[in-house]
C-alpha cells in the first residue's frame, strides 16, 4: 500500500500517507452515528502471502498515523516512533507489515471536528466544519473504525497490536472486544481505566481551551484559533508526561537571560521558556477541538466498568500480552500495569510484565528505546514462532 520513494539507510525512508473513506455510518457508543468516515493511515513493510505478519501500532493523544520515516526530504524529523520501526529494528519491516492510522476525532487526516460536516453541504449554503456538532467518541469507537481499516487491507488476524498511553487503551480494547483478531498485545505506560487524577488533569486542559474567548463555543474555524487555551492545555499535559528528575536535570532553577531575578511577573526561568515552546509547537500542528474530544474519550475509558470487573474483561482475551511500565511514570504508574498482569494470570493468560528503570516519566515509552527494543523484538519473534 505504501509507496517508498527512496530507502533511507537507517530507517524506512520516504513514505506516503494514505486515506480510505466509508459512506456506511459508523455506530458510536454514545448512540450517534458518523458518516462518511475517513481514516488516514500509513503502512511499512510488506504483507506476506499468509497475511499473518501484520502489526497495528496505536498512537497516543498527540500522535497520528506518521509512525516512522519521512513524508519528504525537507521534513525536520521522522515519525513519532521511528527509532522502533524499520529494517532490523524492533518492529522489523523486513519481517512485519506495520500499520498506523490516525484515530477518528483526530486532526491529521481522519474524520474529526475540523472535518467538513456533511449536513452543511447543501446548495446555497457555506460548508462548515463539524466543530462542536461532532459526536462524542470513545476508545471503542476508535477501534471500531480501525476494524474497518484492517478489513479493507484484507487482514483477518493481527499478529499484534501495540500502543502506549491512549494507544494502550486501544490495544486493550482490541484484545478484549475482538479476541479472535489479535494474537499478541504490547501495552506500554498505560492502564485499564483513566484514574480520577488523570481525569482531573484532562479537565483542566479542557477548561483552558473552552475559557479562551477565541474558542467561540467550538465554532472557531475560519477565525483565529484558541491558541492561548490550547497552549495552556499542552503545558499542563506536558508536565504530567515528564518527571521531576527530568525537569531538575534539564533546567533546575536556571534563569533564562541572567543569573539573578528581574522581580517581574514575566517568564524568567528556563523551564518556563521550555513550556512556552511546547505550547507553540503543539498549536502549530494540533486542533483545539480534537484535544477536547480525545481527552474526553480517554476520561470515559474504564474497561472494568463495561464488563463488571477487570477480571471479567480480560477473561475475554485470547492474546499473549507484553506490558512495559516505567519507574518514573506517575501518570500511568507500574501499579496500573500490575493490575492488568495479575488479572491475566488468574486466567492463565500468557503475560510478561517488565518495569523499565527510567527518569523520563510517562514520555519514556516514546524516547527511551534501548532497553525496550530487545524485549519487544523477542516478544514478536515468539508470536511468529507460534
C-alpha torsion angle, residues 214, 216, 217, 219 (rounded to 10) = -110
Catalytic pick from 299, 362, 363, 368?
362
Q: How far apart are CA 358 and CA 8, in angstroms?
A: 30
The yes-or-no answer on residue 165 being catalytic is yes
Choosing from 92, 212, 329, 363, the catalytic residue is 329
**Rounded CA gap, 221 and 228, in Å?**
15
**Planar angle of CA 321, 327, 329, nearest 5 degrees:** 90
329 is catalytic: yes
Catalytic residue among 62, 101, 114, 165: 165
Residue with cell 503475560: 351
Task: Give CA–CA dist 316/339, Å, rounded.
Answer: 16
Q: Is 238 a catalytic residue?
A: no
The Cα–Cα gap between 341 and 322 comes to 9
Catalytic (active-site) positions: 165, 329, 362
Amino acid at each position: 500500500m505504501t509507496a517508498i520513494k527512496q530507502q533511507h539507510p537507517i530507517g524506512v525512508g520516504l513514505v506516503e500517507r494514505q486515506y480510505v473513506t466509508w459512506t456506511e455510518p459508523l455506530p458510536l457508543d454514545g448512540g450517534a452515528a458518523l458518516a462518511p468516515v475517513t481514516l488516514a493511515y500509513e503502512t511499512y513493510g510488506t504483507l506476506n502471502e499468509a497475511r499473518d505478519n501484520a502489526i497495528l501500532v496505536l498512537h497516543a493523544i498527540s500522535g497520528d498515523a506518521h509512525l516512522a520515516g519521512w513524508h519528504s526530504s525537507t521534513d525536520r524529523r521522522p515519525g513519532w516512533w521511528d527509532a522502533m520501526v524499520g529494517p532490523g529494528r524492533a518492529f522489523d519491516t523486513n519481517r512485519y507489515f506495520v500499520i498506523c492510522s490516525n484515530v477518528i476525532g483526530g486532526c491529521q487526516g481522519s474524520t474529526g471536528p475540523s472535518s467538513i460536516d456533511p449536513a452543511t453541504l447543501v446548495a446555497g449554503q457555506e460548508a462548515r466544519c463539524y466543530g462542536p456538532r461532532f459526536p462524542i467518541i470513545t476508545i471503542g469507537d476508535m477501534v471500531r473504525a480501525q476494524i474497518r481499516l484492517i478489513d479493507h487491507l484484507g487482514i483477518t488476524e493481527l499478529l499484534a497490536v501495540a500502543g502506549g498511553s491512549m494507544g494502550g487503551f486501544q490495544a486493550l480494547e482490541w484484545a478484549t472486544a475482538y479476541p479472535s483478531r489479535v494474537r499478541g498485545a504490547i501495552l506500554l505506560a498505560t492502564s485499564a481505566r483513566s484514574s480520577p487524577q488523570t481525569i482531573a488533569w484532562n479537565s483542566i486542559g479542557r477548561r483552558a481551551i473552552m475559557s479562551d474567548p477565541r474558542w467561540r463555543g467550538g465554532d472557531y474555524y475560519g477565525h483565529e484559533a484558541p491558541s492561548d487555551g490550547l497552549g495552556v492545555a499542552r503545558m499542563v499535559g506536558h508536565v504530567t508526561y515528564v518527571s521531576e528528575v527530568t525537569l531538575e536535570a534539564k533546567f533546575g532553577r536556571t534563569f533564562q537571560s541572567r543569573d539573578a531575578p528581574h522581580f517581574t511577573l514575566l517568564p524568567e526561568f528556563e523551564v518556563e521558556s521550555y513550556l512556552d515552546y511546547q505550547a507553540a509547537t503543539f498549536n502549530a500542528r494540533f486542533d483545539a477541538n480534537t484535544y477536547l474530544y480525545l481527552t474526553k474519550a480517554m476520561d470515559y475509558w474504564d474497561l472494568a466498568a463495561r464488563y463488571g470487573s477487570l477480571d471479567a474483561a480480560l477473561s475475554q482475551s485470547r492474546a499473549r500480552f507484553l506490558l512495559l511500565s516505567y519507574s518514573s511514570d506517575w501518570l500511568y504508574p507500574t501499579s496500573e500495569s500490575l493490575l492488568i498482569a495479575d488479572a491475566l494470570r488468574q486466567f492463565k493468560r500468557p503475560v510478561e510484565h517488565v518495569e523499565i528503570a527510567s527518569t523520563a516519566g510517562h514520555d519514556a515509552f516514546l524516547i527511551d528505546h534501548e532497553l525496550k527494543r530487545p524485549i519487544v523484538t523477542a516478544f514478536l519473534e515468539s508470536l511468529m514462532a507460534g
